[in-house]
Amino acid sequence: MKTTLIRATLAAACLTIAGQALASEPKRPECIAPAAPGGGFDLTCKLAQTALVESKLLTSPMRVTYMPGGVGAVAYNAVVAQRPAEAGTITAFSSGSLLNLAQGKFGRFDENAVKWLAGVGTSYGALAVRSDSPYKNLDDLVAAIKADPGKVVIGSGGTVGSQDWMQTALIARAAGIDPRKMRYVAMEGGGELATSLLGGHIHVASTDISDSVPHIASGDMRLLAVFSDERLPGEIASQIPTAKEQGYDVSWPVIRGFYVGPKVSDEAYAWWKNAFDQLLASEDFAKLREQRELYPFSMTGDELDAYVKNQVAEYRKLAKEFNLIQ
């Protein structure tokens, strides 16, 4: 009886391995960026697009499509409800997506509605101003907001409760300011934020460092603070002070990665997981990630799934602290 059971178990295992081994490369690979071009989701998709083709893990080109709306909500709902079994489609997510999920902003679908695939890098939140801004540091900004909260226009990717809003809300709380008295303008992604800031339509952009570096390098923009625990490496990043060193105990890592639809087959999911496992172990991928001002974060499969569920739970606690949810 014991021998029969062992043989049956081995046979099942062999079938599983064989099925995964037979999974073929997706025929029409696509990465959905859930925002307009130019922001962090776009960057995330294009990182995968470049890395998967250059490594020859994909032999056909991957297209990037844009599905803005609700800072990820439109794309999430479309994948779950309309495109749940598309084996060739991966969708970018960030910590902001998880924060919105924690607040129920993705409608009837929660964090259990998709298959979390891979986390490929992390950025950090930041506050950006134009290079000619009178605000030279966080104290300058805080003093201006305290003097007249309605005079300082802050652009954020998403409405009250979004990741970008939360970054400034944490600074406000640390400074003894009611975050709800601050003047926010909701926008759709980093591309629109940068355009509005450089055009003078907003005074401050709550963004992240990976979106900002090209504009810093051009001399058009500078960062008042980055929300990392310590100064980041790199020629540009190392010059940017953290919020913590300016006396504001705020840290906000921005994880970037991908999910697939809930009905994608185990074999197709295994193909993608194996592809990202290979990328994340590659020095070439590490260089591509660094070029985009992303920092190491490597997690796939069950490990990422557990991480996402834990983060959403933590974000729910934070949302309750700010009376965003009951």
pLDDT at 15 (0 to 100)? 41
Q: What is the mean pLDDT of residues 133-148?
A: 96
Nearest to 128 by CA among 73, 187, 71, 44: 187
Indicate the DSSP class of residue 231.
Answer: P
pLDDT at 23 (0 to 100)? 66
Task: Considering only residues 105 and 213, tell me which one the structure prediction assigns the higher pLDDT.
Answer: 105
38 Cβ contact partners less than 8 Å away, ≥ 6 residues apart: 189, 190, 191, 192, 194, 195
Tokens of 210: 């990976």
**pLDDT tier for residue 119 given thresholds of 50, 70 and 90:** very high
Q: What is the mean pLDDT of residues 102-107?
A: 93
Q: What are phi and psi of 213, to 5 degrees?
A: -55, -45
**pLDDT tier for residue 8 given thresholds of 50, 70 and 90:** very low
Which of 233-237, 247-251, 289-293: highest mean pLDDT?
Answer: 247-251
- % of the chain exceeding 90 in pLDDT: 76
pLDDT at 14 (0 to 100)? 43
Give the span between the Cα atoms of 66 and 39, in whole angstroms: 11
Q: What are phi and psi of 130, to 5 degrees?
A: -65, 155
- % of the chain exceeding 70 in pLDDT: 93
Question: Same CATH fold, 124-251 and 29-123+254-321?
Answer: yes
CATH of 124-251, one of 3.40.50.2020, 3.40.190.10, 2.40.50.500, 2.40.37.10: 3.40.190.10
The CATH architecture assigned to 29-123+254-321 reads: 3-Layer(aba) Sandwich (3.40)
In terms of DSSP bridges, do strands 30-33 and 183-187 run parallel, antiparallel, or are they unpaired?
unpaired
User: Residues 25-46: pLDDT tens digits?
Assistant: 998 999 999 988 888 899 999 9
pLDDT at 4 (0 to 100)? 44
Cβ proximity of 232 and 209 under 8 Å = yes
Domain map of the chain by residue range? 29-123+254-321, 124-251
- pTM > 0.85: yes or no: no
